[in-house]
Structures are given as C-alpha cells and as structure tokens.
Amino acid sequence: MDKRSFLKSLGLGMAALPFAGSSDALAMAAQVKPLLKGNVLKAGDTIGIITPASALGDEDAITLTKEVLSYFGFKVKEGKYIRERYGNLAGTDAQRLEDLHQMFADKSVAGILCIRGGAGASRLLSKIDYKLIANNPKVLLGYSDITALIMAFQAKASLVTFHGPVGTSNWSNFVANTFKDQFIDNKLVTFANPAKKGDNIVQYKDRITTINPGVVEGKLLGGNLTLISGLCGSPYLPDFKDSILFLEEINESPEKVDRMFCQLMNAGILSQIKGFVFGKCTGCSPSGGYGSLNLDQILRDFIKPLNIPAYTGAVIGHIDDQFLLPVGVKVRLDADKGTIEILEKALI
C-alpha cells in the first residue's frame, strides 16, 4: 500500500471507528502502518553510493560502481566516508551512519546503492534515525550484509527496499535488465530462473526443486540467512505473519545452516510464513565429511513439514545472475513452476 492508498483506506477505516469501542478503535488505528515507497528513477537522477558494512579493497570498487550507474544515465554522489577503514569496516559506526543519514536527508539524491556488503551493518541499527528514513522514502539496493538494513527499514519504517546487486557485483545483461525493469520502468515482473540449456537437451544449471507444491500470495520478506537469524529477538525484524520468506547464504557449513534454521524455527518465524524460497548456498560444502547433513536434508527437515508452497534453487544470492527483489510488497509464489510474481508496484 502506498501513501495515497493508505490515506484512502484510513479514511474508510476511520469511518467505521464509531461502531467500535473507543479503546479498540484507537488500538486498531495505531496498528495501521502505511507501506512507504520511493520514486521511480529516471535518467539524470542522482544516485548516492555508500559503504555501510565492510571496507573497500581498492579504488576500482568505486570506479566500477560509477561506471555501472553511468550506463543507466545516472549521476553519482559519493558518501563522504566510502574510502575510510576501521579494522574490517568501512569507517567507524559514526562515519558509516553519517553517510547513510546524509543520503536519505539529501533531497537531490533519488536512490542509494551500496557498493558492497561484508559485515558491520547490524552495528548501525540501534543508532539509525528511522523517522528520517520514513520521512524521506527512496530506493535502497543491496544484499548480503545489507539484509540488516533491509529488515530494519521494513520493521521500523515500513520502507520498501530492494534485495539485489551491489556496486561491485557482476552486472550482466540479466542483472541490468532486471534493474531497468524495476527502477526505471517500475514493472510488475515475474521472476523465474534463466533457461540456459546451451547445447544440452535438458537444463543442468540453475534448476529449481519443489519442496512442497502449490501457489500462495503474501508479503515478500527475506535476505541473508545469517543476518536474519542473527536479528532474532531484536526489534529490527519485521512481522513475518503470512509472508513469503526467501533466503540465501554463502560460505557456511551445513551444520551452521542447520543451526540458523533452528533459530528461525525456535523464534517462531517458520510457523508464521505462508510460502518459502531458498536461493543459492554458495560455498556451503560439508566441512566434516561423514555424518554431515546436506542442504536438501536441512530443508526437508525444517520446511517440508510446514506444508506450505516452497521451492529451492532460485537465482538469489552470491551469484552473477540474480533476482532483484522488492522487499515488503505483495507477491505470488508458484512452487511448482519456481516463480515469484510481483503483484504490487514497488515504486511510485
């Protein structure tokens, strides 16, 4: 729901309030949160680039990010501290926070692209001015450690953000086309793995596996498994009730993946969702050999018993060709076909 739709629905809801008890009416009104959305981007707009997590390895990361944005016709504004280093982080918490706040406060900045993920974004969550974010809704794009911001902005400001490539990602034509479809054309896209048979008679790469069949609709939430499990018990996770949860991971052994799914189960998140998608678990090979669980077994143990539409193998995660998913909007999941259909415009 965008601001305009919210005002209309709020008016209808308020009209019904006299028929309810005054305390019930006030509680009902307090629970209503508008879904905030940024504006569609256009050539000539200024995109801010920031490093809210790990430090950059070299200047090439900034140069390549600028070239990517220039390809789409955008101007670029650098965060003041993107070249800073504090241990493994891209500057102190105060410096990274200042860049984040400045980009949202700057009326000339139409959207924000994170140059990379890594680690450290979660350190900022308790210090962010969420009122500033809510008063200045705009595009924020990133993945991996940026999941911390994606989840917190949905939980604390109801802002639609975007899980997808960072500046240092490999910007293939597949990624570039999804970027244009979302941010410039504001399309209602149906995401499906690319069909690449090559000279083969069947497709071998990027196949999906249905865990439970079916079609379901709900609010799309998700990101990196480590980040989401690490935020359990904090105020920075949104309400997962009736949502479609997507997850991805990198360089974690199956026993650690299993532990994180235990956390999602014990925190009550898995029991609330209506649908589930797992993307890629890049570099998640067993470390112990004999007796190690594999990802298929973990998903069978935790997701299969939920009896909700679910599939795995989506091109989401630390890979070259990846979906660019609007987090917070309504979608339709088809677990048989392996598709995520966006049902609600993510921008205004």
d(CA 86, CA 117) in angstroms, rounded, equals 15
* Token reading at 342: 């966006």
CATH 3.40.50.10740 range(s) for the chain read: 46-184
190-192 and 339-342: which strand pairing?
antiparallel
The strands making up 339-342's β-sheet, listed across from edge to edge, are 190-192, 339-342, 330-334, 215-224, 243-250, 275-282, 310-312, 209-212
Q: Report the alpha-carbon angle 104-107-108, nearest 5.
A: 110
Superfamily of domain 190-342: LD-carboxypeptidase A C-terminal domain-like (3.50.30.60)
Tell me: pLDDT of 177 over 50: yes
pLDDT band for 287, please (50, 70, 90 cuts): low
Least confident piece of the model among 165-169, 245-249, 281-285: 281-285
Q: Which residues pair with 248 in a beta bridge?
A: 224
Tell me: pLDDT of 15 over 60: no
CATH 3.50.30.60 range(s) for the chain read: 190-342
pLDDT in tens, 319-331: 999 999 999 999 9
- In angstroms, the Cα distances linking 78 to 110, 125, 142, 210 are 13, 22, 16, 43
Q: Which residues are catalytic?
A: 144, 248, 318
- Average pLDDT, integer, range 305-333: 97
Give Cβ neighbours of residue 87 (< 8 Å, ≥ 6 apart): none
Between helix 295-302 and helix 254-266 the angle, nearest 10°, is 10
pLDDT at res. 288: 59
* Topology of the domain comprising 46-184: Rossmann fold (3.40.50)
- Average pLDDT, integer, range 186-204: 90
pLDDT in tens, 240-278: 999 999 999 999 999 999 999 999 999 999 999 999 999
Q: Report the alpha-carbon angle 60-38-51, nearest 5.
A: 25
pTM value surpassing 0.85: yes
**Residue among 61, 144, 146 nearest 100 (CA):** 146
- Average pLDDT, integer, range 5-9: 45
Helix, strand or coil, per DSSP, at residue 217 = strand
pLDDT at res. 285: 82
| Identity of the residue numbered 74 | F
Give Cβ neighbours of residue 244 (< 8 Å, ≥ 6 apart): 216, 217, 218, 219, 220, 221, 222, 273, 274, 275, 276, 277, 331, 333, 340
Helix, strand or coil, per DSSP, at residue 88 = coil
| Identity of the residue numbered 195 | A
